[in-house]
Amino acid sequence: MASFDLPDSTDWLDTSLSSFEPLEAALRCQVCKEFYDTPMITLCSHTFCSLCIRRCITTDGKCPTCKKEGQTDKLMPNWVVGEIVERFVKARPAALELARRDKEEKKGTSGRKRKLDDTDLEDDEISVRSTRSRKTRTAAPAGGADMSDPIAVVNSEEEGDYVPEGMVKCPICQKAMKEEQVYMHLDSCPGQKGPGGRNTRSRTNNAFSNTFQHQSTKLSPSPTPTRLPQLNYSLLKDNALRQKLHSLGIPTWGPKQLLIRRHTEWLNLWNSNCDATHPKTKGQLLKELDVWERTQGGHAGFTEAKVMKKDFDGNKWATNNKDHFDELIANARKKRTAPTEGEEKSEEKKEGVKDAPKVIPVQYSREQPANPPTETLLIPHTERAQEPQTDTKPSVDVARPYEGNNEALAIIRKKVDEANNNSNSSSSAGPQLEGEAPSLRPSEGISNPFSSPSRKVPMFQVPEDPVIEVETKSR
């Protein structure tokens, strides 16, 4: 791709057809700024690419143009716009070239151009220009132009993805045919396994049934036109969600947040593909999901992708609260010697939740009112993610800032030693083995969350003498 030589509506401005600029702009999706790909119309009568509007809706549920809410699943195809776009894109190179030449001739700058008459131009230059790969962007709706040829043409390529120009594949049986025929054909499509069946066009099918069966075993089936439903992620446990992803055939690794984002993207890709008149195969969709994975998903390398809110600034948070994390880790390591695992976990959870509001006021100055509750809620998760040592669940993909970071580990070891020494030297505080050590370090400047007396009580404490309770549990 040579520099930024992308077709754009402003291409018309330097030509004698500058009024085509707004025309072309009107044929482009306002979200992606490309020509409409599978245009869909919303409840509020705005039109966008299917994938664009689905992504917008899964982000905030609003129409990008008018901000009207409640758009989910109320999209309808806008066939007319799709056809206009398709025709325009086909006519564009020739028209643009003519308009450019016209302008130059009017200017009288003949130096740059060969003297060619228009027919020559159409013969060579235009055919070269039309090789731009924009064809893939155009969603051609059923045009109704040429219904006179109902004979299905078989795709003889070994690669099932290839479809002759002007042809599309039946999403079920993979047979290539003119796009106008697809809907008629679907009513009688025999499916993948039974090519004889009810098909009224059995003469073609019989002849090539071997090819179909061969293809259907070799290729992953292309999407059937059934749209996938949304899931209520908050009702699903990690494993159930993982199973869902597995049954859809998409990657299942990563923490729940990533699973949710991946599933959402897959739904968008899949459902917009269902809208398309030229549906892609599942293999192609999986490739697109892989691109997403590398740019925005789990392979994108953003730590912010791994916490609850996708635009949360994980790095910033980690640096701002590093002391705090170190402290927590040091304490957790120290505690590890004494209490049972379950005890430790519940203790940690409780403290994580209680810490959150303590940290925030330090961060936000007067002009920045405290974050909304949603943002506050994620803090315990972040802290847990930053604490691989105490995270007893073997979650694979949490950020591990301390792994291999010798400097940070050294600091933590020092703090552990420090904490150990303190508790040893002041053994008069003896029986309080659990979590109390930080309170024995008044010299440290950091206000320690554990020092709050209310936290000495374990989470499920019955209202009795806390010291005795802790002792019996830790034995």
Partner 1 sequence: MHEHTAPGLELVKADDFKEWLVDIRVLDPNPLYQNETYRLKFTFSQQYPIEAPEVVFVRDDTHPIPWHPHVYSNGIICLDLLDRAGWTPIHNVESVCVSLQSMLTSNTKKERPEGDEHFVKYNKQRPKDINFVFHDNQV
CA-CA distances (angstroms) from residue 309 to 38, 59, 113, 306, 382? 30, 12, 56, 8, 10
* 288 sits near partner 1 (criterion: CB under 8 A): no
* 374 sits near partner 1 (criterion: CB under 8 A): no
Of the candidates 305, 321, 324, 301, the residue with the CA atom closest to the CA atom of residue 313: 305
Site size toward partner 1, by CB under 8 A = 34
Q: Which is nearer to partner 1, 110 or 319 (CB)?
A: 319
Binds partner 1 by CB under 8 A, chosen from 316, 349, 393, 414: 316
The DSSP code for 451 is G
* 300 sits near partner 1 (criterion: CB under 8 A): yes
In sequence order, the β-bridge partners of residue 69 are 62
* 226 sits near partner 1 (criterion: CB under 8 A): no
Binds partner 1 by CB under 8 A, chosen from 19, 22, 23, 33: 33
Q: Which is nearer to partner 1, 31 or 231 (CB)?
A: 31
Binds partner 1 by CB under 8 A, chosen from 19, 45, 59, 127: 59
* 31 sits near partner 1 (criterion: CB under 8 A): yes
Of the candidates 261, 240, 286, 195, the residue with the CA atom closest to the CA atom of residue 397: 261
Long-range pairs for 97-102: beta carbons < 8 A, 24 or more residues apart: 97/121, 97/125, 97/126, 97/129, 99/12, 99/15, 99/16, 99/17, 99/20, 100/14, 100/15, 102/15, 102/16, 102/17
* 64 sits near partner 1 (criterion: CB under 8 A): yes
Binds partner 1 by CB under 8 A, chosen from 1, 2, 4, 217: 4
Long-range pairs for 235-242: beta carbons < 8 A, 24 or more residues apart: none
Q: Which is nearer to partner 1, 13 or 23 (CB)?
A: 13
* 6 sits near partner 1 (criterion: CB under 8 A): yes
CA angle 367, 368, 374 (to 5 degrees): 160
* 373 sits near partner 1 (criterion: CB under 8 A): no
String of b and e for 377-401 (b: at least 16 CB within 10 Å)?
ebbbbbbbbbbebbbeeeeeebbeb
* 67 sits near partner 1 (criterion: CB under 8 A): yes
Q: Is the alpha carbon torsion for 72, 73, 74, 80 positive or negative? A: positive
Binds partner 1 by CB under 8 A, chosen from 16, 192, 209, 320: 320
* 322 sits near partner 1 (criterion: CB under 8 A): no
Site residues for partner 1, window 123-162 (CB under 8 A)?
A: none
Q: Which is nearer to partner 1, 32 or 95 (CB)?
A: 32
* 468 sits near partner 1 (criterion: CB under 8 A): no
Distance CA 61, CA 70 (A): 6
* 340 sits near partner 1 (criterion: CB under 8 A): no
Q: Which is nearer to partner 1, 58 or 209 (CB)?
A: 58
Residue 177's φ and ψ, nearest 5 degrees, are -160, 170
Q: At closest approach, how far in Å is the CB of 64 from partner 1?
A: 5
Which stretch in 2-10, 102-110, 127-135, 197-205 sits in contact with partner 1 by CB under 8 A? 2-10
* 62 sits near partner 1 (criterion: CB under 8 A): yes
* 252 sits near partner 1 (criterion: CB under 8 A): no
**Residue 87 CB neighbour total at 10 angstroms:** 14
User: Which residue stretches of 131-255 are H helix?
Assistant: 182-188, 202-218, 238-248
Q: 450, 351 in Cβ contact below 8 A?
A: yes
Q: Which is nearer to partner 1, 31 or 429 (CB)?
A: 31
Q: 62, 69 in Cβ contact below 8 A?
A: yes
The contact pattern for partner 1, residues 343-372, with x = CB under 8 A and - = no contact, is --------------------x-xxxxx-xx
Binds partner 1 by CB under 8 A, chosen from 41, 55, 77, 281: 55
Helix, strand or coil, per DSSP, at residue 49:
strand
Summarize as ranges the residues that interact with partner 1 (CB under 8 A): 4, 6, 8, 10, 13, 30-33, 52, 55-56, 59, 62, 64-65, 67, 295-296, 300, 302, 310-311, 313, 316, 320, 363, 365-369, 371-372
